[in-house]
Amino acid sequence: MAESDNEDNEAFLRNLERSRSLYEKKWNVCVSSRALQTLKEAQWNAPQLLPFTEDVKNMHIYLDKCSEEYKLHLDKDPNKDNWAKLANLTLCQIILFNRRREGEVSKMHLSTFTLRDTSSVHLDLAGGLSELEQKLCKHFQRIEIRGKRNNKVPILLTPDIMSSMEALVAHRRAAGVPDENPYFFSRPETENHLRGSDAIRRIAKECGAKHPETLLSTKLRKHISTLSTVLNLKDNEMDILANVLGHDIRIHRQYYRLPEGTLQLAKVSKVLLALEQGHISDFKGMSLDQIQIDPNEELPEAVESDLSYTGAEEDLSFGTPSSSSGSSRSRRRLLTAEEFDGDIASIGTTSSTQKKKKRSRV
């Protein structure tokens, strides 16, 4: 019995080693690579949903209208329901305006707002800014929060958002928020925080957007990054935008750009149309943005007949007289063999008579 058990154990170990060897050698080829290829192929013709400008505009209008209403209700009756409504609305406003990740704003601490830097711009630095930029520095306030991978990311606050946040701080205890709760957008009577994704999803439906499923923090961030390529920003300006959004500049350039399908339809199609219409030489030295071509332009009918002429046929037609007005190729006629021989004979006779005249003169 002991010997049979040892043989079974040895056979089991051999099978285990064989299975492990097959896993190490064949898993990437037979399983992982095919799974990745399947995932890539599923994204080939998938539509890219980006927020529509009209929906974003309607959402901003709805937030501005409700903000004043919720602040009046909270000032008159500071209870947890009114406080939670204003907190969710303000949370959505900050995420939408700054295009921030919803988790970053949701987990913002109360001390981040109360201990913010309220100093004005240094006079020497303000001298290098335009008049509009100086006004914007006075209009907005800026706070810094913890972002992805513990990076520092900024948040810009408008005067309306600042007013709402100050009202939330003033009525925090009346709403039943414990002092132990460190989060600014805290949940009343708990030590947790509100969820920004829930706030955006609910307000997107309430504002009457036609496509509320596109009004998410991730898609809003991709929306501003993608449309920033239309502005033709310089490298340093692109770096500033990427830092504000919390992106690495390499990731920003690789993923957050105009969709590949849009570029092919709008840019590369110009080259293909120019090749089809035979006008590619007309756009010599131009960039893709400078090429202007009509996609409805039809090919000229004479192109096909022009191409039917060969070099030999053109050689045969040298005896035909050319008109002073310059006749087109379509009116050219080819010489027959008899006409060609007659022309050659006439050329020979004229040359012989010219020689005889020269001899008689001599």
Distance separating alpha carbons of residues 352 and 362, to the nearest angstrom: 16
Contact 78, 171 (CB under 8 A): yes
pLDDT of residue 343: 46
- pTM strictly above 0.85: no
Query: What amino acid is encoded at 292 in this protein?
Result: Q
Distance separating alpha carbons of residues 59 and 97, to the nearest angstrom: 11
Q: Mark the ranges of the chain whose per-residue pLDDT is less than 50.
A: 258, 302-362
Which residues, including other chains, have CB under 8 Å from residue 94's CB and lie 6 or more apart? 100, 105, 155, 157, 161
Torsion angle of the four alpha carbons 36, 226, 141, 163, in this order, in degrees rounded to the nearest 10: -90
Closest CA to 100 of 150, 23, 153: 153
Domains of the chain listed by start with CATH number? 53-212 (1.10.443), 272-306 (no CATH)
pLDDT tens-digit series, residues 247-261? 666 665 655 554 555
Q: What CA–CA distances, in Å, run from 316 to 305, 313, 325, 327, 331? A: 17, 5, 21, 17, 15
Contact 159, 71 (CB under 8 A): no
Helix axes 196-206, 53-76, angle to 10 degrees: 110
pLDDT of residue 301: 54
Distance separating alpha carbons of residues 220 and 225, to the nearest angstrom: 9
Q: What CA–CA distances, in Å, run from 101 to 35, 42, 109? A: 30, 26, 15
Distance separating alpha carbons of residues 58 and 211, to the nearest angstrom: 11
- Count H helices and E strands in the chain, helices first: 18, 2
pLDDT of residue 1: 57
Report the SS3 class of residue 362: coil
pLDDT of residue 217: 87
